[in-house]
Structure 1
């Protein structure tokens, strides 16, 4: 049972083209969750880790030039947990929306934790089939040999989505294919009985889930560039828009929208 949820920024970024906020947002974040449960801590996404700070080159020059992350030690998940009085071994599970560099970089800081991911995403990262997949996944981030918990498709209904229970009944993987081959959202039941849905990179700009939607066109272009299945990405984004409009008991947010993180903190 969830007792408390912390919203963390595990990687502030300042995208190229951000001045004025017309082409790209001035500030993006790596929005992660620390979920306190009766039987241990669960981390949802892990942002950048200490290994990324120690070897920035492994992130790749194009990524560093385009995204311009702070890569600050105090922003790593392991440092923020320490500030809250927790040790790395207190984290029993890390549930990932996907294995892109800014989501999986911190898993090496929690070597005792089970790392949950969809089977399709695990296959994409371990056996990349396209040039895009070969470039986006950083094998060094899991060179320590994580304790993978790989979840196949299928499961129970969750507000019209197929949900796969990752950690008990209150942390659920929601397949949202499009951005990557096995991209997922992570739903967490809140202490008051509602839900929050970390939608990962299903959308990047808060206006995309408004009714009617609004867009930051730089972000639209970036999402199309990075999408493995663009049609499915747009379909799932529409489903998330309907979820937000029809179910006020579910709070939906993305991995990178800074105002969403600021509001939830």
Structure 2
């Protein structure tokens, strides 16, 4: 396997100093949608999709658009970037979602033939929201084409101290779902085993690289945003604490879905032919 690191949607809200701890107070922040494209034995797998072609064309929730100010670039969609890599978007066999927010599942309709893997509690929350938070965040029109869902239950094995971890497929132990509830009811991470060790896509379990270092801290705007939209803030903070511990292991690399520093680092490293190839 080989991992390509894609930015499938740039969010540019005002308040860069508040959101990223640097730059001007009124300058625009740079928040990415860091998705993985995995070239594997059975075709292509996407980990999150970012924004899709329909959203770029105008199908995007008005309140979220006003808040996050997405750049809406067709060239940043996963479909366009896969084509630019010389690959065929129709070869995307599987999509693995950390959760179903619009900036993580916005391009599902661009890959109608793919099997969509999701944690069972997350799909339940999206299909039957129980509170204001869930009713506002999930956009059923993004999956109105009726994807081929494959849900994964709450039971499983242990991995690096985390419980209820599930492998994708009956005999594939290289792509794992790692429950990281808090941001949403069924939020999950995605772990992949590479030659250099494990990589864990943490989705929105944290937003900025400084949240998982030895002395964690978060820009105040991002901290407020994460708290405000969390389905279970206590669980979210507990999982962040566990990720700080995990990040101390040199054989494990973490990715947030939205940190531009991590995306730039990993996109550059992946340009090497030997980077991030699994056994």
Shorter-chain TM band: over 0.9
Whether the 8 Å CA contact 1:23–1:219 is kept in 2: the answer is no
Which of 180, 198, 207 is equivalent to 2:201? Answer: 198
Q: Aligned partners of 1:243 and 1:23: how far apart in 2?
A: 35
Which of 186, 193, 197 is equivalent to 1:189? Answer: 193
Q: Aligned partners of 1:225 and 1:165: how far apart in 2?
A: 31
Which of 173, 177, 193 is equivalent to 2:177? Answer: 173
What is the aligned partner in structure 2 of residue 104 from structure 1?
105
| SS of alignment partner, residue 115 of structure 1 | strand
What is the aligned partner in structure 2 of residue 240 from structure 1?
243
Change (3 A) 1:243 1:36: same
Deviations 1:21-58 (A, max 9, x none): 569972000000000101111100000001112233xx
TM-score by length of 1: 0.94
Matches within 5 A, 1:78-227: 78-162=79-163, 163-167=165-169, 168-190=172-194, 192=195, 194-227=197-230
Deviations 1:116-151 (A, max 9, x none): 000000000001111110110111110001000100
- Counterpart check, 1:29 vs 2:32: yes
Change (3 A) 1:24 1:202: farther
Deviations 1:147-191 (A, max 9, x none): 00100012121111121112421111100000000000111112x
Q: Which runs of 4+ in 1 moved over 6 A?
A: none
Change (3 A) 1:165 1:21: farther
How well do the aligned residues superpose, as a CA RMSD in angstroms? 1.5
Change (3 A) 1:37 1:54: same
TM-score by length of 2: 0.90
| SS of alignment partner, residue 223 of structure 2 | helix
